[in-house]
Amino acid sequence: MNRISFPAAWFVVVAGLAASFVSFARPACADSLDVHQPYSAERSHPVTHDVEFVVTVTAPYQTKVLRVWLPIPPSDHAQQLLDSSLSTFPQTLEASLNVEPEFGNRFAYFEFLNPQGGQIIRHKFRVKTWELRWNLDPAKVPSTTKWPESFAPYLRSEKQAVIFDQRFDKLLSEIVPRRGNPLVDLRSVLDWADRNLAYDHLDASLQASSTHALEHRRGHCSDYHGFCAALGRVMSQPTRVTYGINTFPKHSPSHCKLEAFLPPYGWVSFDVSETQKFAQAIRGDMRLADDERERLIDAAHRRLTSGFRDNTWYLQTRGTDYELAPKASRRVPVVRTIYAEADGKPLADPDPANKSQTTYAWMTAHRFDSNVKVSYPFTDQKSLQSWLAPSTANPRDGAP
């Protein structure tokens, strides 16, 4: 088995390659419109996760060239990649490390010649994550009429993933009849998605398809967040879908979040689908009194609309509809765990949580050892305590 380790010096080199995309926290200026502005959220509850992430890719019979792109988590204000090593089996390959130019995503690239049976890629690394809270205040978010050209990838209607057309214009006019404060308008979009979309493994695009969500009113996290991203762009608010991994056992470890650029806060994270599922679980908890259920559901909503990112998730890729590095046969809508091609043809993206799907082009296995015990805030009702509104206040007026 071939193993590639990356010492501290390697991270310095890669950080230099991606310097225009990754930086650490600095105070945000009220009039700043910097697309690379670091996260401005308050961070707390650091957790260090030792991760072993394994992918087994099985190419079709007599494949000549199997190509695999594996995302490498970035370091920024929300997380730090502390150590990393890659190995392959049964073929022994050295990965080439690349940064795609549009969003700055990093990939380890493997090229297996004449692969026989499954090929295993193992990524062992350590990542430190924080809980992030933005505590958004609508009064501090100004309207922006003109964005610098650097924001163009986050405002466009794409050929895949985040697409918007006249149907989105019409729907937005119903959701937000009169435009006002950017944050208040975005909250209206998130509310609509929460009320009208249904989470469904059987009917999902797996590609952050805004049109799938619009037409089917159901899908995965990526459909929810691709949909919200599209409506945000119709309002001229820069948005993006960010994909990462949950650090606990799951059939499908990947999960995405929505990010919107809201001056002066910069990029802010929202998780509509997990908040919706959490609220549904609270609503069905008959151990709780009716008023307590409503208070907890309101707290979950307050947390969502105030900007929140949990420390049980680490980010791997940002953005949608982009070229990989090195280039694949096509642009990708998103990369959830890996992207793979056999003789230039994309291999199907699996959904292990879909009970009706039992064959896969690849499968992941994963193990996470954390230095402190941490609960998942989208299933732990205790995590909402600091978000409970005073009984005399409207619980959806703003952040705690």
- Helices (DSSP H) in the chain: which residue ranges? 8-17, 166-175, 182-196, 210-216, 221-234, 272-283, 290-306
pLDDT band (50, 70, 90) for residue 391? low
pLDDT tens digit sequence for 315-324: 999 999 999 9
**What contacts 80, CB < 8 A, 6 or more positions away?**
127, 128
Range 174-188 average pLDDT: 97
Tokens found for residue 16: 């230099």
Ordered structural domains, the chain, with CATH:
2-130+320-370 (2.60.40.2250), 133-313+376-387 (3.10.620.30)
| Mean pLDDT of all residues belonging to the chain | 90
> What phi and psi, each to the nearest 5 degrees, are found at residue 32?
-80, 130
> How far apart are alpha carbons 263 and 185 in whole angstroms?
14
Q: Are strands 198-199 and 218-219 parallel, antiparallel or unpaired?
A: parallel
Judge whether residue 23 has pLDDT over 50: no
> How far apart are alpha carbons 291 and 301 in whole angstroms?
15
Range 363-389 average pLDDT: 95
| pLDDT at site 304 | 98
The more confidently predicted of residues 349 and 307 is 307
Q: What is the 3-state secondary structure (H, E, C) of 32-82?
A: CCCCCCCCCCEEEEEEEEEEEEEEEEECCCCCCEEEEEEEECCCCCCEEEE
> How far apart are alpha carbons 87 and 228 in whole angstroms?
38
Q: Which of 378, 222, 238 is nearest to 303 (CA)?
A: 378
* Chain Cα centroid distance, residue 201: 17
Judge whether residue 214 has pLDDT over 90: yes
**What contacts 181, CB < 8 A, 6 or more positions away?**
138, 141, 143
Q: Which residues on neighbouring strands pair with residue 79, listed in sequence order?
A: 129
pLDDT band (50, 70, 90) for residue 394? very low
| pLDDT at site 28 | 39
Q: Which of 61, 265, 294 is nearest to 182 (CA)?
A: 265
pLDDT band (50, 70, 90) for residue 32? low
| pLDDT at site 357 | 77
pLDDT tens digit sequence for 70-104: 999 999 999 999 999 999 999 999 999 999 999 99
Tokens found for residue 371: 């230095």
| pLDDT at site 8 | 41
pLDDT tens digit sequence for 33-52: 999 999 999 999 999 999 99
Q: Return the amino acid letter for 19.
A: A
- % of the chain residues with pLDDT over 90: 84
Name the DSSP letter for residue 117.
Answer: S
- Side-chain-side CA neighbours of 28 within 13 Å: the count stands at 25
Range 54-63 average pLDDT: 96
> How far apart are alpha carbons 186 and 258 in whole angstroms?
11
Range 370-389 average pLDDT: 95
pLDDT band (50, 70, 90) for residue 31? low
Name the DSSP letter for residue 381.
Answer: G
Range 3-18 average pLDDT: 44
